[in-house]
A and B are shown apart, each in its own frame.
Chain A
Amino acid sequence: MIITVNGRTMDAAEQMMLSDLLLSCNVKPGVVIVVVNEMVVKQAMWSETKIADGDSIELVSFIGGG
């Protein structure tokens, strides 16, 4: 299935869980905010959230800013 991560199109395995995707993207818990189809998914739900074809996933974090 095809998903979008930070604007980049990716091929993901069927039935993939969000936590697996984050692991493959080297995402550190506690640092990154995960937004799936415009909804924030809290860390506690990462392993229970199934990724679906066409999902748009944003991985964002805070940086210095004025």
Chain B
Amino acid sequence: MEDLFVIGGKTLKSRFFLGTGKFESKEAMRQAIIRSGAQVVTVALRRIDLEQTEENILSFIPEEIVLMVNTSGARNAQEAIRIARIAREAGYGNWVKIEVINDSRYLLPDNQETIKATEVLSAEGFVVLPYMHPDLYAAKALAKAGAAAIMPLGSLIGSNQGLKMKTLIEVLIEEIEEIPIIVDAGIGRPSHAAEAMEMGADAVLVNTAVAAAKDPVLMACAFAGGVEAGRMAFLAGPGHVRTTASASSPLTGFLFNE
């Protein structure tokens, strides 16, 4: 049986979401998307530089890929709402990653403002995926507000530290049953992605670890493999962790038994 992931009215085969920031080459980004099989990618919206003509990033993203507009740069709910509306009005779909950040050193998300933006945008028909600090009450509020999924941070954005928030994310996986959980931010190695999926996360979003790798295309493929392996392990049902040994071979019938 095929293991499909349904979210925002889309049925996805890949549980590996890719961010498009920080790639040195847009062509490498395009190859990373294609070769890894990612079906959802994030992009951001910014004022253009009037002194410079830039390449259009959208021309490097295959048409069938779901664009998820990140509200990065928003410092409160109102600014996030504005970005989402502009993107949709301009014809770029209705998937939005709500990212509301006030703190420039740690880039931690503001859960309160994120909840407010989620309420408004969900009511307007957006597919809302909020980036959030893994707090159970905030997660419940986001689910109630109509989020299509929640995206708790694994660790600080771009830090490659992995699942520093592991225990709290496990709580969300255990307690939030109504919507999927996508681990976002800080995932630095394919093993981190596999670990998140083994825990029961529904998907993983990675950007920096792929974009900043020596070979981003190969790293994207490695992450896709990690996500797939972790997902299969979760479905297969990992064994319990024990404090003592448990023999893999029977402890009877030894050749040297008296």
Contacts and interface: CB of A to CB of B under 8 A. Distances in A.
Contacts of B57: 62-64
Contacts of B22: 64, 66
Interface in B186-241: 205, 207-208, 211
B21 A6 contact: no
Nearest to A34: B90
A19 B23 CA distance: 32
A45 interface: no
B70 A66 contact: yes
A65 B42 contact: yes
B65 interface: no
A50 B26 CA distance: 36
Interface residues on A, range: 20 to 34
Contacts, number: 93
A6 to B, nearest CB: 5
Contact of B47 (A7, A30, A65): A7
Contact of A5 (B50, B72, B82): B50
Interface residues of B, number: 37
B44 to A, nearest CB: 3
A17 interface: no
Contacts of A32: 48
Contacts of B19: 64-66
B172 to A, nearest CB: 20
Given A35-B86, A40-B89, A61 B50 contact: no
B21 A64 contact: yes
Interface string A52-64: 0000001111111
Interface string B87-113: 101111000000000000000000000
B20 A26 contact: no
B50 A6 contact: yes
Contact of B50 (A26, A28, A62, A65): A26
B10 interface: no
Contacts of B244: none
A8 B49 CA distance: 12
Contacts of B7: none
B53 A26 contact: yes
Given A59-B50, A64-B44, A66-B21, A40 B86 contact: yes
Given A40-B86, A65-B19, A66-B19, A60 B46 contact: yes
B58 to A, nearest CB: 6
A25 B134 CA distance: 43
A48 interface: no
7 contacts: A30-B56, A58-B47, A60-B86, A61-B56, A63-B45, A64-B43, A65-B42
In order of increasing CB-CB distance, the 9 nearest A-B pairs are: A65-B44, A66-B19, A66-B207, A40-B89, A64-B20, A64-B21, A33-B90, A31-B56, A6-B47
Interface of B: 19-23, 26, 29, 42-48, 50, 53-54, 56-58, 69-70, 72, 82, 86-87, 89-92, 157-158, 185, 205, 207-208, 211
